[in-house]
A and B are shown apart, each in its own frame.
Chain A
């Protein structure tokens, strides 16, 4: 196994996906699963966890919203600029079942895209719900439509598609249609609600926590009874999520203080 230290790579492409959502791709050969993540180092700024948003044999991509210093610096990088990557980390999604429902909220959409593509390559029937606050925040709609998946959009303000949260749209859909599995990434209260609406359907959600080491030693990202999001997750099934008392309730900040959702 290579050492867990950043490998310097070069940005290949940069693409503006939506108002403040950017995708950058970079050379990083190797296999990885949808749902896995990298630690992305911007020297002099920060190192942050980022789920993969596109997987090719030698090229990988990440897609992010500009929300802080690190994502601001990332969004300013141009093709040819350097950044450090270590990973991939985490367990990734396991695609099972014939009729699959994917529910992405906000930037959670980014890491679901490669999972949808993988499911469609395996010829599964896929429905994708994309939830954003408003129309100009939407991204990946066309990319996901091209896979042959049924793509539905919800906006909080009703500016496009269904008016309301993606979880509300999912609730309606789960009443009408039968699904073998539900996959989700998005704001935790949304995923928490979705788990309730999904009853006993096999469920996989990607959790996000403040991370430092990403190799399962520092304890920063732990939830429940010492469950390490970086190594034991970030994808958890419904059974595991029901045992994690933090899920949908609180996360911890850099100092380890609880921040309630």
Chain B
């Protein structure tokens, strides 16, 4: 019998497939559907202090090997989002509150509210590649990031996961700073900054011009980042980027991830993708003589 339960620090997951932030997670009903579809944990939409509409459409365009999006961090603001989280209080799987802000004080306020709303961990979005003053603009500054993590850890009793960007030139410096600041896990990777131009009109398709690329095309980039992080830190890692099948997930686990997040594959394979991937992981492990996920995790990090 193959076991696929896993842990991220103190957090226990019945399976390693988590819903990635930004997909089907703006309201309670959507997240409930993803839980029913078999997700082992849910990461919320990235939530800020006040409501934000996001960018004008087009906010998404499908490319040959992935999806390009610039939603622009749309969210109802932390106070209204509390109503959505209230409906998830009886959730059978961990809920991870994703938050974005420009400085430590704002992050602490958001973290405290997420804690009040009953989330089980926090994910810091310091890697969105297309939001002015937020996301990657915060996540590329090791000193600022350390201050944010330390401030939250001092004031909020929740595990802190830090989602990093593949666009960083100083990825290892950043993850080492994250580790020194006592974060609990690293989530790698966010989308890759990219652009699509429509030839007939000679204009970028996305209203924001640039966006974040996700899906199959970025999987090798994510696997490389996870492997680099795993060989330079001892923090648990959550792998994300182009995971569509069980074998994609296995690859990330072997590279050093303890769990994975699924985003674009909700489009490619439908909301039932969590169950599909879990079944495929079990099937692969069974046929390759693995019985526990811990035997797969970091298998390639030698």
Contacts and interface: CB of A to CB of B under 8 A. Distances in A.
Partners in one complex: yes
Interface of A: 3-6, 8, 39, 41, 43-48, 82, 84, 212-213, 215-220, 222-227, 252-257
B205 A5 contact: yes
B54 A255 contact: yes
Contacts of B49: none
Nearest to A255: B51
B75 A255 contact: yes
Given A8-B201, A82-B200, A257-B51, A225 B57 contact: no
Interface string B38-55: 000000010000011110
A8 B29 contact: no
B27 A222 contact: yes
B34 A226 contact: yes
Contacts of B54: 212, 254-255
Interface residues of B, number: 49
A244 B196 CA distance: 37
Contacts of A219: 23-27, 30, 45
The residue among A216, A218, A222, A257 with the most chain B CB atoms within 10 A of its own CB is A218
Given A4-B62, A8-B201, A216-B270, 19 more contacts: A4-B60, A5-B196, A39-B58, A47-B207, A82-B201, A84-B201, A217-B23, A217-B60, A217-B263, A219-B25, A219-B30, A226-B24, A226-B34, A255-B74, A255-B75, A256-B45, A256-B75, A256-B81, A257-B51
B64 A226 contact: no
B27 A47 contact: no
By secondary structure, the B interface counts as loop
B29 A212 contact: no
By secondary structure, the A interface counts as loop
Contacts of A82: 200-201
B27 A255 contact: no
B198 A212 contact: no
Given A5-B61, A84-B201, A226-B30, A212 B71 contact: yes
Contacts of A227: 29, 33
Interface in B218-277: 263-264, 266-267, 270-271
A47 B57 contact: yes
B80 A257 contact: yes
B77 to A, nearest CB: 7
A226 B29 contact: yes
Contacts of A220: 26, 74
Contacts, number: 129
Given A218-B71, A220-B26, A48 B57 contact: yes
Contacts of B62: 3-5, 215
B53 A212 contact: no
Nearest to B56: A46
A47 B63 CA distance: 17
A203 to B, nearest CB: 22
Contact of A3 (B52, B63, B201): B63
B188 interface: no
Nearest to A49: B57
Nearest to A257: B76
B60 A41 contact: no
26 contacts: A3-B64, A5-B198, A5-B205, A8-B198, A39-B57, A41-B58, A41-B205, A46-B56, A212-B54, A215-B62, A215-B267, A217-B60, A217-B67, A218-B59, A218-B69, A219-B26, A219-B27, A222-B24, A222-B29, A226-B29, A227-B33, A253-B53, A254-B53, A255-B74, A255-B75, A255-B76
A171 to B, nearest CB: 31
A129 B83 CA distance: 39
